[in-house]
Chains A and B, each alone.
Chain A
Amino acid sequence: MNPLAKINQFFSKLPLHLAIIIMCLLWLIPTLGLFISSFRSRQAVRETGWWSVFSRQQVVGEAEYNTYCASCHGTDGKKIANANLADPTIVNQYTRSINLLVDLKKLVNNGPHLVDPQLPSNATQAQAILSPILTYMQSLAGEAKASTGGLTLGNYVDALVGYKGTADYLSDCKNKVPGTQAVFNCNSSDLLNQAGMGRALINTLIVAVPSTLIPIFFAALAAYAFAWLDFRGRQWLFALLVGLQIIPLQMVLVPIARLYVNVGLQSSFLGIWLFHTGFGLPYAIYLMRNFIGSLPREIFESVYLDGATHWTAFRKLALPLAMPAIASLGIFQFLWIWNDFLVAKIFLSTKPVLTVQITNLIDPLGGNWNILTGAAFLSFIIPMIVFFSFQRYFARGMLSGSVKG
């Protein structure tokens, strides 16, 4: 193809590319927003949108600095050599805006500060302006980009230990804030704190792995029977399974919960494993039977002729050959359980899993958004890894589940 034709083709496809790219962006941006927010400080998350990390205007104090100081000191603070506002030794004299205000007043009236900055005469108002200016000067001086600019892992730490205080866990621990000392040990044992995502992550793993493996094993057995054994009512029973797949979860919650109270399985891992097994089986059997049943008949016939028992045929033939289906199903079931909220909320109330823990962390007044960002991403890590490593199997599982194939 000559270059001209190539360019021509590119332009004729431009609307197509644009449509696809726009759609991809629409799908990515909400998640991206949360991802960026998860690295921003508590204050920053509450005060500015996550996109402000891309723009310079949003830096705290820049507007105020430009109004009151920049005309003399320059936008970089270095215009007056004797009063270099980007010099840490000068900036560090002012730990709080009140010091700055006092000095500024003194210096204006008694000499060196050349121009009166025309701050409001009310001290509180003046301080409200000076405080962000001070922050801005600190960032000019390369000091901790405290409030907005800097990115932090604090949200992840807070979420892991489940810290809902007014500042972040690490600094409160360092400053020995009384409320912190009561609940938290301020050492690595906090990672297993009952209210934290660290503990929830472990709980979720304990729930998800057996709840994935047990139903697959039983489903494989049943699927083998449906595919290669002959018994009365086979068709009828299988049609029933197709119907059972659709029974909503809501339909079975209360009777099972009552049953569990009677037999002492409430809030136990065994209880939730069994529940997920029971509820996952209809779909799992359906999918596996379609797969095992479509394996070539001849190989089964030949092993039977060689004298193999069904058990051997199941273990040595059906199971290994069904690996693709097992992989699809496993990923499907694993993600489903990992992301489940309702079942875990009801059957495992004292051992919160990730989804339940996130809702525990939600403050109705919306004061702790920053923790939620970290918490949400902590809960995404493992499903994302599973999803992107096994995406093909996942898609295939969905296909064979809902479309004959």
Chain B
Amino acid sequence: MVPKIMKQGRLAPLLYLGPALIIMLIFVIYPTFNTIVLSFMDRSGTQSAAVECTSGEPCWGVFENYRYALTDPLMLTALRNNALWLLLMVPGTVAVGLIFALLADRVRYESLAKSIVFMPMAISFIGAGVIWRFVYYIQTGGGPQIGLLNAILVKLGAQPVAFLSDSRINNFALMIVGVWLWAGFCMTILSAAVKGLPGEVLEAARVDGASEWHLFWRVMFPMILPTVVVVTTTMVINVLKIFDIVFVMTGGNFGTEVIANRMFQLIVTDTGKSMAIAVLLIVLTIPVMVFNVRRFRAEEAMR
């Protein structure tokens, strides 16, 4: 791999790698371990978490913060919601991205259409939150509805809906914002995979009389599956860390709490619990991390 002709001093790799390694050591590796330590400490990060126990209530000793992270009702809501996001929003976004990539592939204004769907990627979550407030807003005190969706509902003769505070639907409303933001990302990557498919194979299948539906499921999908997997894992990570959308739109109220927002809310008032939640977050991402490293190794082996 590396040309053997070039002599290199023993120090050379260190000089090139050194700055990056030192910075990563200080800003990624050290704090990760420190966070794990803090997760066993009390709210100020000075004594063992066991001091947080109150007598007469269940206590996990030094694991007290983890008791909170795993049993507190608000945390259970957060865990449930993150699971909901994983189960619905991730497949939803990948599917929307894939469908759009396949459709746009067949028209001449493809790049324009793709730019439109891709555009939210340039917008901050905070900005997206402002944008979607105008879609979901409900006017409760009489007067015309100024939120787009409720205006449509009222026009159709239905009752306005409190999209962000009705706990039966608000999680879905937030997920739609997520799909809106990320479908462009999935689309772009999947579109490249679709374009990379060998034309002869598709042509041959068409000549053999395969319907477009069959063509997709039997020929195209298996061939782009690796890319679908990559996109899905990236989305899984994004969704586990989902924070800004919820923070800016509902603040985690009305049953929309998610793990990362809980962590943020406690960061000042109760470091120990906050860090335990952060550790929980990384534990949840470990399977994805292992998967990515394995995939990377397999790719390297083929290089």
Contacts and interface: CB of A to CB of B under 8 A. Distances in A.
A390 to B, nearest CB: 10
B2 A279 contact: no
A355 B267 contact: no
Interface string B72-103: 00000000000000000000000000001001
Contacts of B300: 235
A243 B126 contact: no
Contacts of A34: 130-131, 134
Interface in B263-303: 263-264, 267, 271, 274-275, 277-279, 281-282, 285, 288-289, 292-293, 296-297, 299-300
A23 B275 CA distance: 41
Nearest to B23: A278
Interface stretch (B5-13, B53-61, B203-211): B5-13
Contacts of B5: 301, 304-305
Interface size class of B (residues with CB under 8 A): 35 or more
Nearest to A221: B16
Contacts of A192: none
Interface in A351-373: 354-355, 358-359, 369, 372-373
A54 interface: no
A229 B13 contact: yes
B293 A243 contact: yes
A403 B234 CA distance: 11
B158 interface: no
Interface in A1-56: 13, 16-17, 19-20, 23-24, 27-31, 33-34, 37, 45-51
A230 B2 contact: yes
A104 to B, nearest CB: 27
A278 B24 CA distance: 5
B244 interface: yes
Interface string B171-190: 00000000010010100110
Given A49-B146, A221-B17, A250 B131 contact: no
B8 A242 contact: no
Interface string A361-394: 0000000010011011001100110111001001
Interface of A: 13, 16-17, 19-20, 23-24, 27-31, 33-34, 37, 45-51, 218-219, 221-222, 224-231, 235, 237, 239, 242-256, 258-259, 274-275, 277-279, 281-282, 285, 297, 300-301, 304-305, 310, 313-314, 335, 338-342, 346, 354-355, 358-359, 369, 372-373, 375-376, 379-380, 383-384, 386-388, 391, 394-395, 398-399, 402-405
Interface of B: 2-6, 8, 12-13, 16-17, 19-21, 23-24, 26-32, 34-35, 38, 45, 100, 103-104, 106-107, 113, 115-127, 130-135, 143-148, 151, 180, 183, 185, 188-189, 192-193, 227, 230-231, 234, 237, 240-241, 243-244, 247-248, 260, 263-264, 267, 271, 274-275, 277-279, 281-282, 285, 288-289, 292-293, 296-297, 299-300
